[in-house]
A and B are shown apart, each in its own frame.
Chain A
Amino acid sequence: MSIAIPVAEGLWTDEAEPRLIGGQHRITSEIVFPMPQGDAAQHFEAVPLSRTGTLWSWTSQDFRPKSPPYAGPEAFTPFLIGYVELPGQVIVETRIEGAVLADLKLGMAMELVLIEFAPGRSTFAFRPVPS
């Protein structure tokens, strides 16, 4: 995992337990994800987000998305995605790891992990917090 290259720079912090990096609006304090780029970035301050949250919604991806833009393996394995609410911050769309569809329940506790979504490339995901 350590050799996988992040799908993009600046999505998560470089620390033992990585956190997503959001943008907090300098006036309204509203938090967005990802951190805005270009001219819009000047209105936001980069802030690390909570590593844990609760499941807001989810679905399965049962067919291979078209490439481009999809950069996952040619041999397709269905995966799960969802939205995880980071309390008081923002609700982020994410890959879901370490679960099957039947495990997923509204409001269940989730935590951030990094996954290799394509050979040598990593992205963020959330998985149910082990009980």
Chain B
Amino acid sequence: MTTVQIIGAGIHPFGRTDSRTGRDQGVFAVRQALSDAGLEWTDIECAYGGSEGAGNADIMVNELGLTGLPFINVSNGCATGGSALASARNAVASGQCDIALAVGFDKHPRGAFNAKPGDWGLPEWYGETGMMLTTQFFAMKIQRYMQLHGISRRTLGMVAEKAFRNGTLCEHAWRRSPVDLDTILNAPMVNDPLTKYMFCSPAEGAVALIIASEKKARELGADGVTIASIAVRTRPPGSFEVFAPAISVERGGKPTELASQAAYEAAGIGPEDIDVAQLQDTESGAEIMHMAENGFCADGEQEQWLAEGRTELNGKLPVNTDGGCLACGEPIGASGLRQVYENTVQLRGRGGERQVPGNPKTAYSHVYGAPGLSAVAILER
């Protein structure tokens, strides 16, 4: 297969933008990505995009131009962005086209996501009795993990503190003020052990990435970053996922572990080779558990990693350098692409105040969502 690069990256600031629809934020991001790549909309040969709750992506051609290009709408929950990127990459890698677009955007109402049981193949009673909230799942997953692997509440707080600190240095972040550890730990509880500062909030935002073959990138003189691998995986038997009225007593694998292993294998490198990582941090505990599920440390070692600052911007493995979901909020359709955007920024050395030192060469991103799916992308410079 042809080697594929990201040659243009655009982002609409995350958070709340009352004056723009989600799709308009998507158009904003596409224009920025085109400008970054030095291209026109007419240069884009095919496009993949979507949102969870802000409408179809292909309508963007109304604003961007009726060039007749094939524009595939992607609707894949939390993996919408990752699936769009995987599709765009495959289109270029297969030789179907030389330049493709992946775009994700969203705009969610305030408050916790409100899922309808029927949409998820679940009985009404599950929602009626108050057990169908994504936040509960994350709380119960980390609760058990803390008991089994000795993770402290303080460490959960330190993850959030780092996120907000990194967010202060990031122009596309939503939360741009630091929050101190005591405030995080003593904030109102949402679902024990997670306080309100330990959860990300549904938000708005958009990301667009322009993908090209290596040959095309060279012709254009692009500042490209190579996509070494992308893997999207759904849950195996015996995993523990969002919205599960019951789980098997036979404990099995995890979608993140499957996606991670596939991505490492395809890239021909391992976790020890990664210089910077963006890991799904729906809440503080998710970042902790995902450090282990993606192979960066053993279960329980996170306590020491955080205490030693290993995931800080200047640490051994900087994690969530733009503040992650905690500081940026979570527009579902854009969130996974934000991670890849941030890795592109870091590998190009354009991170400004939040730039990871030492010219990082490899970057890892991991998105996780309901009903148990993960997407991992590894970029190389």
Where the two chains meet, the residues of A that have a C-beta atom closer than 8 Å to any C-beta of B are 7-8, 11, 22, 30, 32-34, 37, 56-63, 65-66, 68-72, 79, 81-83, 85-95, 101, 106, 117-118, 121, 123
Q: A59-B136, A70-B128 are in contact. Are A91 and B141 (CB under 8 A)?
A: no
- The answer for the CA separation of A89 and B193 in the assembled complex, in Å, is 28
B66 interface residue per 8 A CB criterion: no
Q: Are B132 and A56 touching (Cβ within 8 A)?
A: no
Q: Which residues of A have CB within 8 Å of B250?
A: 30
Interface centre among B112, B129, B191 (most CB of A within 10 A): B129
Interface centre among B114, B117, B188 (most CB of A within 10 A): B114
B262 interface residue per 8 A CB criterion: no
The 9 closest A-B pairs by CB, nearest first: A69-B127, A59-B139, A33-B246, A57-B144, A71-B128, A8-B125, A57-B140, A60-B192, A7-B125
Quote the shortest CB–CB distance from A86 to chain B (angstroms): 8
B192: contacting residue among A37, A72, A91, A101, CB under 8 A: A101
Interface residues of B in 258-312 (CB under 8 A from A): none
A90: contacting residue among B111, B114, B248, CB under 8 A: B248
Quote the shortest CB–CB distance from B127 to chain A (angstroms): 3
**Which B residue's beta carbon lies closest to that of A76?**
B130
- The answer for the CA separation of A81 and B148 in the assembled complex, in Å, is 19
Q: Are A117 and B188 touching (Cβ within 8 A)?
A: no
B189 interface residue per 8 A CB criterion: yes
Q: Are A93 and B244 touching (Cβ within 8 A)?
A: yes
Quote the shortest CB–CB distance from B246 to chain A (angstroms): 4
Where the two chains meet, the residues of B that have a C-beta atom closer than 8 Å to any C-beta of A are 111-112, 114, 116-117, 123-133, 136, 139-141, 143-144, 147-148, 188-193, 244-250
B128: contacting residue among A57, A59, A69, CB under 8 A: A69
Q: Are A91 and B190 touching (Cβ within 8 A)?
A: no
Q: Are B189 and A60 touching (Cβ within 8 A)?
A: yes
Quote the shortest CB–CB distance from A20 to chain B (angstroms): 9
- The answer for the CA separation of A65 and B132 in the assembled complex, in Å, is 9
**Which B residue's beta carbon lies closest to that of A106?**
B147
What would be 8 A-B contacts, judged by CB atoms less than 8 Å apart?
A7-B128, A11-B125, A33-B245, A57-B140, A58-B143, A68-B116, A92-B245, A95-B131
Q: Are B249 and A65 touching (Cβ within 8 A)?
A: no
- The answer for the CA separation of A8 and B245 in the assembled complex, in Å, is 14
Q: Which residues of A have CB within 8 Å of B131?
A: 81, 93-95
Total A-B pairs, Cβ < 8 A: 115
| New A-B pairs, 9, CB < 8 Å, besides A69-B124, A70-B127, A85-B249 | A8-B125, A30-B250, A62-B189, A62-B191, A66-B114, A94-B131, A95-B129, A95-B131, A106-B147
Q: Are B246 and A37 touching (Cβ within 8 A)?
A: no
Q: A72-B130, A83-B247 are in contact. Are A106 and B144 (CB under 8 A)?
A: yes
Quote the shortest CB–CB distance from B111 to chain A (angstroms): 7
- The answer for the CA separation of A70 and B129 in the assembled complex, in Å, is 6
Q: Which residues of A have CB within 8 Å of B191?
A: 59-62
A37: contacting residue among B117, B123, B139, B147, CB under 8 A: B123
- The answer for the CA separation of A94 and B245 in the assembled complex, in Å, is 8
A65: contacting residue among B116, B130, B192, B246, CB under 8 A: B130
- The answer for the CA separation of A94 and B129 in the assembled complex, in Å, is 9
Q: Are B123 and A62 touching (Cβ within 8 A)?
A: no
Q: Are A56 and B245 touching (Cβ within 8 A)?
A: no
Quote the shortest CB–CB distance from B292 to chain A (angstroms): 17
Q: Are B192 and A93 touching (Cβ within 8 A)?
A: no
Q: Are B192 and A62 touching (Cβ within 8 A)?
A: yes
Q: Which residues of B have CB within 8 Å of A33?
A: 245-246
- The answer for the CA separation of A50 and B319 in the assembled complex, in Å, is 44
Q: Are A59 and B245 touching (Cβ within 8 A)?
A: no
- The answer for the CA separation of A33 and B131 in the assembled complex, in Å, is 14
Q: Are B124 and A66 touching (Cβ within 8 A)?
A: no
Quote the shortest CB–CB distance from B76 to chain A (angstroms): 23
**Which B residue's beta carbon lies closest to that of A85?**
B249
Q: Which residues of B have CB within 8 Å of A88?
A: 249
Q: Are A59 and B192 touching (Cβ within 8 A)?
A: yes
Interface centre among A32, A60, A72, A89 (most CB of B within 10 A): A60
Q: Are A92 and B246 touching (Cβ within 8 A)?
A: yes
Q: A8-B125, A92-B246 are in contact. Are A79 and B147 (CB under 8 A)?
A: no
